[in-house]
């Protein structure tokens, strides 16, 4: 299966700053990348779907101007949390579907803490 990496694995930032999370597909051309968010003790919720070379599709309730997604190449998708606030503290995980969409390759996740 595909190998997906995320960077950074954890980040602590001050309220009001922006944080960029990178998701790389190391051995697979990821035309689609999903971004999930997981609050403590909760499930994973899909935030948005990014497709290489086009605008991301956001799930209901997710602010597209706050969570900027860029998928400029087949191996890299980025999520930027702009003007982060403590309520944005969460575990962010990316994944890309395999061919046929019946399998998923997850990144190891990024734990964001906003002070």
Partner 1 sequence: AQKVTQAQTEISVVEKEDVTLDCVYETRDTTYYLFWYKQPPSGELVFLIRRNSFDEQNEISGRYSWNFQKSTSSFNFTITASQVVDSAVYFCALSENNQGGKLIFGQGTELSVKP
**Closer Cβ to partner 1, 59 or 63, answer by number:** 59
∠ CA(11), CA(115), CA(77), 5° rounding? Answer: 35
Q: How many CA atoms lie within 13 A of 61 on its CB side?
A: 4
Smallest gap from residue 16 Cβ to partner 1 (A): 26
Residue 28 or 82 with smaller CB distance to partner 1:
28
Q: Which residues contact partner 1 by CB under 8 A?
A: 32, 34, 38, 42-46, 49, 91, 93, 95, 97-98, 101-104, 106, 108-109, 111
Nearer to partner 1, 86 or 100 (CB): 100
Closest CB 93 distance from partner 1, rounded Å: 7
d(CA 104, CA 115): 32
Nearest residue (CB) to partner 1, 25 versus 95: 95
Is residue 31 a contact partner of residue 43, using CB atoms and an 8 Å limit? no
The answer to whether 60 and 69 have CB atoms below 8 angstroms apart is no
């Amino acid at each position: 299966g595909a190998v997906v990496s995320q960077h950074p694995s954890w980040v602590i930032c001050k309220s009001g700053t922006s944080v960029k999370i990178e998701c790389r597909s190391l051995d697979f051309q990821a035309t689609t990348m999903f971004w999930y968010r997981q609050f403590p003790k909760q499930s994973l919720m899909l935030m948005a779907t990014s497709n290489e070379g086009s605008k991301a599709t956001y799930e209901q309730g997710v602010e597209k101007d706050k969570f900027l997604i860029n998928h400029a190449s087949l191996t890299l998708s980025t999520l930027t949390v702009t003007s982060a606030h403590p309520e944005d503290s969460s575990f962010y995980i990316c994944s890309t579907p395999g061919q046929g969409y019946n399998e998923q390759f997850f990144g190891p996740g990024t734990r964001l803490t906003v002070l």
